[in-house]
Amino acid sequence: MTLDPITHDYLALAHGIDRLVPGFIDADVGPPREADRLGDAEPATPLGLLEQARALAGQVAEADYPERRRAYLAAQVAAMVEVCRSLSGEAIDYAAEVRGRFDIEPAHTPEANFDAAIAAIDDALPGSGPIPVRMAAWRERFEVAPEVAMDLLDVIVPEIRRRTLAFVDLPDGEDVAFALVRDQPWSGYNWFLGESRSRVELNTDLPIRANGLTGLVCHEAYPGHHTEHSLKEWHLYRQRGWDEHAVQLISTPQAVISEGIATLAETVVFPAGELHAWQAETLYPRAGITGDPGREARLDAAQRDLRAVNANAALLLHGGGASEDEAVAYIMRYGLRDEADARQSLRFITDPTWRSYVFTYHAGRDLLGRWLDRGAPDQATRLARFRDLLTTQVTPSLVAGWLAAGPDDDGTRQGAGGQDGVEPALDPVSEAPAAIPSPS
């Protein structure tokens, strides 16, 4: 494997950071010997890594790459500079940490937005009495044992994979394996193994609910993380030879795009309320649950507006002077969560790796959702836009630029392909790409 100087330095820097921040590299699909060589290099000091990162930023700025690739690398390296600044002991306030690592503005969501959502939830929930009590009862009716959840996956996975294949081809031999785990700060996690294979773990420390399981699997597998990772591995790394895509990095802008894709995945394959009808008819009977599609749709729509609660709590905790107990109370109040769930969220937003990552979920969804839905597109256009996100290099600033440019710019005019690295606009009514051979 021969790397050009910039991607060599990019991968070397990523491995250097990963030695000081284990887990910074979320996945590495490059040749194992190359990863071993980079990982076995003499450990650099934080200041040494910072110098490397700043030098690499200068190299990227002068690189003779297609504009979109250069912009992608510039955003990634800028985030790595910020990580190295923190490692070097620089004091960086929380908002600046989020901004510097993820290419987004960590805005505080007004509590009035949450109050409006809670009022809508109050109206949609059955019964009367305190909202948290009724919400807990509503959630409990959908809880299933872990072994039942695994059985439900036999229904969910083929359906969402079929719907994904309706608009994008996947590499031959791609596969997702599912496993149950405990003692993790997240509810589900995709471990991308390379060659279009993933292991998705579901955390049984948290209740598994049948009405949320399809969305979780869409997020982690089809057409979410597994689908994106598989397609970018094929199109960008193996086909184009863009070696920066041999690794996936946690605290960088690519995470915002990945989480935006994943949190929107369910809406892409189940448009216009199809999910709740499908669950009631096909999924729930297998678990002995009776669905209420209309009520579920109303509740899901209202609860989406509470996605920013954890991010607000993180802002209060890390920059607003709130104590951990106050952050837990905030999550319980506005997230309608019990204390156990709220403390699990606290664990996430206090973890050094994940504390700023919490913004990637709602910020990614809001940003990419605005682009997917701009101009009230038909489903074919929406799928074409989503396919572009799955297969090309995208940064938050790039998508923000598409939105600012106006309705004539659909964001698909520069992609991953073409002889000069610039791909023609995707045709919203075109057939899916030709079948993708197995990676070798």
| pTM, two decimal places | 0.91
pLDDT at 186: 82
pLDDT at 32: 78
pLDDT at 420: 33
pLDDT at 416: 37
| In the chain, domain spans | 5-102, 111-363
Each residue's pLDDT, cut to its tens digit, for the chain (440 residues) gives 567 999 999 999 999 999 999 999 999 999 876 667 766 677 789 999 999 999 999 999 999 999 999 999 999 999 999 999 999 999 999 999 999 999 999 999 999 999 999 999 999 999 999 999 999 999 999 999 999 999 999 999 999 999 999 999 999 999 999 999 999 878 899 999 999 999 999 999 989 999 999 999 999 999 999 999 999 999 999 999 999 999 999 999 999 999 999 999 999 999 988 999 999 999 999 999 999 999 999 999 999 999 999 999 999 999 999 999 999 999 999 999 999 999 999 999 999 889 999 999 999 999 999 999 999 999 999 999 999 999 999 999 999 999 998 765 555 544 433 323 333 233 222 223 333 433 33
pLDDT at 112: 98
pLDDT at 130: 95
pLDDT at 440: 31
pLDDT at 421: 33
pLDDT at 273: 82
Please give the order of strands across the beta sheet that includes 197-203: 175-181, 197-203, 188-194
pLDDT at 302: 96
Q: Check if the beta carbon of residue 230 is closer than 8 Å to that of residue 335.
A: no
